[in-house]
Amino acid sequence: MSSAWARTVALLGAIGVLLALLAFRAPSFFDAANLLSIVVGAAPLLVASLGATLVIVTRQIDVSIGSQFSLCAVCAGMMVTGGVPIPVAMLSAIVLGAALGLANGMLVAVVKLPAIVATLGTMVIWRELLRWWREGEFVHNLPPGFQWFGLPQSIGQVVVVAAALALWGAMALAARLTHPGRDVFLVGSNPEAARLLGLRPTRVLVGVFVLSGVTAALAAVLASVRFGDIDPGAGSGLELRAIAAAVVGGAAVSGGRASMLGMLLGVVLLSIIGPALVFLGIQPQWERVIQGLIILIAVGADASARRSRA
């Protein structure tokens, strides 16, 4: 069995064990309303994890995803409350996400800063700018047509989940079947070999960071339409969850390898953990501890697999 399929089976097993425990200890977890809330809440994480996964494939990391998410969400909210048409505001948020990602890409690929340093710096900059701008105040008085895209809630929830799954499916196909998608994996596997084949690793790196910014912005849009107000701190911790979903799903920190199916299962597992802790009577603060442990276990398993192949 390949390592990718082994990771998929392990994830399915972990999800199965967790669900079995919940069925035994907290059967109310499986209430239809709770399950729907979990699925809808997982949609933005799935979208943000797409960009995080491809950044990791290129041997980089983006820890500014949460700050980009918050900034794009607040900008979209401020624009619609200021009278800008809703589609224009949402498109503007996506363009802003691309610009933020471009800044990261230029710092990493052109200035040659380590990705962890560059994106940690931009994470702090975007977060502090947002704190100075909003001082923690929510964006209120969103127009009725903004929430759930102006649709009834039941339909809007389906649209949010369907949009996230459609983006995941398109990204999975593009990574496997298109030249740009294969170029990302080739650059991640061996940048020098990619250069000899005529690729431009710098361009590819900038591209994946731009894509990470776009997916963070799309995630912000999908998350913002769920509520009547926009929290400027809503993106806090999103980068940890997105990176955890990518790594536990099979994205190798050494580059060149990832599984979109595994990443989807990683999102499922991480989306269940938080609510599961509540239903099991465990302090929810343990959620981030568990996320950190998941990253350590996944990276350790990947390193062990590389040593065994060497």
Tens-level pLDDT at each residue, the chain (310 residues): 456 677 788 889 889 999 999 999 999 999 999 999 999 999 999 999 999 999 999 999 999 999 999 999 999 999 999 999 999 999 999 999 999 999 999 999 999 999 999 999 999 999 999 999 888 889 998 998 899 998 999 999 999 999 999 999 999 999 888 988 899 999 998 888 888 888 899 999 999 999 999 999 999 999 999 988 999 988 888 998 999 999 888 888 888 888 899 999 999 999 999 899 888 888 877 777 887 887 787 777 766 666 665 5
- Looking at residue 283, its amino acid is Q
What pLDDT, on a 0 to 100 scale, did the predictor assign at position 259? 87
Predicted TM-score (pTM) of the model is 0.93
Q: How far is CA 257 from CA 1, 18, 98, 204, in A?
A: 16, 27, 24, 15
Q: Is 310 exposed, middle or buried (0-12, 13-18, 19+ CB in 10 A)?
A: exposed
Range 104-138 burial, b when 16+ CB lie within 10 A, else e? bbbbbbeeebebeebbbebbeebbeebeeebeeeb
What pLDDT, on a 0 to 100 scale, did the predictor assign at position 174? 92
Nearest to 168 by CA among 160, 35, 248, 274: 160
C-alpha to C-alpha distance for 108 and 275, rounded to whole angstroms: 36
